[in-house]
Amino acid sequence: MSRKVPPPIPVIGSKGDSSREEQLRQWEESERQRREQQAAASAPSAVVPVQPSAPAAGSAEGVLEPAAEAPGLTVLVREVPGYLEMPSYTEPDSADPTERLEFYSRGILAVQYAARANHERAEQQKLIGLGLRLRAMKDEELHKVAGFETFGDLTDARFGIKKHQANNIIRVTPVAQALEDITTQELKERPLRILVPILETHGVDAVRATWNEAARHGNVTDKTLEQAANFLGYAPPKELTAGEEKKPEKPAVAAAASESLKAVERIRTLAATDPARARREAQELESAVRELLMELTQEYVA
């Protein structure tokens, strides 16, 4: 019997031209081929049921009573790459303890990698799923049916989501939908706010181009997205608000007066420890000021 070889583990965060998402897709493809080859020995188990169509925006099942509905809950996810099947447990053929340890260690690392990848993809889909349903509930004013005065009262009482959080999630949901086909990375609400005006003004392609440009330099943050948007020319012009109006610069005379007063204060401080030296410096300053006044008077007369 040939020795079973554990699945190779891709390297995350390595420096190079390949993006993290491309590494993930390549490893997923290799895993799919490996599982097909081992199909006769062990049948793969489905991790996430896939539904081709998008989930209904108005559905509230599994949300109002999460604990009761959890046993029969079906996770609806659009057919996009990114979810990895957990590697099946197998035993090594070798009886050597060192080789067995290496085999199990590589398997643990593979499981941890798949778990991280699936977690990030799940968090991405969670943001989209929340946004679609919150937007539907807000547009249909369903808080009135439940006896709540406002939309924010409903989301806070039932889901622990404050009104401003719900509105922010709703705002960035179209951005997350524009990005879900090009990245498996977790999409957080706050950085995506940078891309909202870009989507509204320039469209989906501009949002994707901005994301890809930011991703070329490492971790995608609100700062790197803003820099990428500025570089590509998609960033909206900054407008000063009433509180941010540019204050007029102080005239140079005021600055010069401030420096002269500093010199006087320095001599006054010196007088507390060395009166003789302070007197000499005051006289020198007085003489210099007189000469300057004479020069300025002559220039004015001329």
DSSP classification of residue 208: H
Cβ–Cβ < 8 Å for 45, 103: no
**Spatial separation of the C-alpha atoms in residues 158 and 259, rounded to whole Å:** 63
pLDDT at residue 7 in the model: 52
Q: What is the DSSP letter of 95?
A: -
SS3 readout for 236-301: CCCCCCHHHCCCCCCCHHHHHHHHHHHHHHHHHHHHCCCHHHHHHHHHHHHHHHHHHHHHHHHHHH
- The confidence score (pLDDT) of residue 235 equals 83
Going residue by residue through the chain (302 aa), what tens digit of pLDDT does each one get? Answer: 455 555 554 444 444 444 556 666 666 677 667 767 766 555 444 444 434 344 433 333 343 344 444 445 444 444 545 677 888 888 989 899 999 899 989 988 988 888 887 888 888 888 999 999 999 999 999 999 999 999 999 999 999 999 999 999 999 999 999 998 888 888 889 999 999 999 999 999 999 999 999 998 888 898 999 999 999 999 876 665 555 555 555 555 444 556 778 888 888 888 888 888 888 888 888 878 877 777 777 655 55
Would you give the DSSP letter of residue 194? G
Of 259, 269, 254, 209, the C-alpha closest to 235 is 209
- What pLDDT is stored for residue 62 in this prediction? 40
Q: What CA dihedral angle connects 278, 282, 285 and 291, to 10 degrees?
A: -150
Name the maximum alpha-carbon separation found in the chain. 110
Residues 161, 135: contact at Cβ < 8 Å?
no
pTM: 0.51
**CA 135 – CA 252 distance, rounded (Å):** 55
253-274 b/e with 16+ CB inside 10 Å = b?
eeeeeeeeeeeeeebeebeeee
